[in-house]
Amino acid sequence: MKKFLEKYWKLFPAALILFVTTAAVFILDYRNEPVMYSWNENANEKDDRLRRDIVSAINIYTDGTAQEIFHETGTLEGIAYDILRVIPSEHTFLQVDYAEEPKPLNELIDEETTAAGYAYAGGINGGFFRLGETERGRPVGAVRRKNAWTIWHGEENTPAYGSGFATAYFTGNAMRLKYHGWQNGVWAGDDDWTYESGYAIDAENGISGSYTYIADGEAKDITGDDYGSVDYRTAGRAATIFAQNAEKEYLLIEIFGVVDDSKILGFLQSLDTVNAIRMDGGLSTQMVYIRKYVAEVR
């Protein structure tokens, strides 16, 4: 018995090292795996896979040196919601990302940004886009990133390619909502645009959505009821909302089911939001985040 113990006791340190190493690799892999949610239209509930490829996203990047991204979840009128709350800083920032052809949200990542040393931490779907064969993937309205309009097959994705919607512009922790739209052939709602000079926009990022719940701290729709591509106030669809609170934190919100707009407004007010815009929703309603960079709020 003594010889048996002496023989196999010598193997114990190596076995322990192997066990610890394996466990560490498993934990690291687990933390690096993306968490993915989307809306299951048939069941009207949250699903753990992505159901639609998209062309634009509001993404989060970080250098990983500060804990500034938080995930929380709950229910609103019995419907599940998820929020990614982001504290923008020199370490963590939001960015609009774009692809001319639709692709999964967890693949819509900017390689230049990651090559610069920042890690993709997650994001939500962005604005509307066309699904028809001739213009499949063409954004409806503005998609701006890195201080320039993006391009769809040689044409700029500016607000003029939409119809009656609000656009969120943001740089660092500064966010503002503007209205762009044509009314009876006349450009309305945007004093910064002229035929001669185009758009006087200086924001790094811009993404068109639908209507607004709150703008500059006031509960109002700045589109004047010109609701955009889809009137989600009556369509009964899941919701993607991009917002900012009074502390200059960004809120990336997904509501995975049908909730009355008045209830959504009250919910946003309870979150102390000063700007909140409804983005593309329905089957595009989706969220991704990487556990390694996101703290869970219980």
Residue from 14, 279, 20, 55 nearest 157 by CA? 55
Contact present, 141 and 165 (Cβ < 8 Å): yes
Phi then psi for residue 162, to 5 deg, are: -115, -170
Structure tokens at 252: 């990336």
Identify the pLDDT of residue 245.
98
In angstroms, rounded to a whole number, what is the distance separating the alpha carbons of residues 155 and 93? 27
Domain ranges of the chain: 33-296
Q: Is 107 helix (H, G, I), strand (E, B) or coil?
A: helix
Identify the pLDDT of residue 22.
47
pLDDT in tens, 150-207: 999 999 998 877 666 889 999 999 999 988 766 666 666 566 655 444 566 789 999 9
In angstroms, rounded to a whole number, what is the distance separating the alpha carbons of residues 77 and 290? 28
* Residue ranges in the chain whose pLDDT is less than 70: 1-28, 162-164, 181-200, 225-230
- Considering the entire predicted model, what is its pTM? 0.87
Identify the pLDDT of residue 187.
63
Structure tokens at 55: 């062309």
Number of helices and strands (H, E) in the chain?
5, 24
Are β-strands 155-156 and 151-152 bridged in parallel, bridged antiparallel, or unpaired?
Answer: antiparallel
In angstroms, rounded to a whole number, what is the distance separating the alpha carbons of residues 116 and 62? 11
Structure tokens at 104: 């999964």
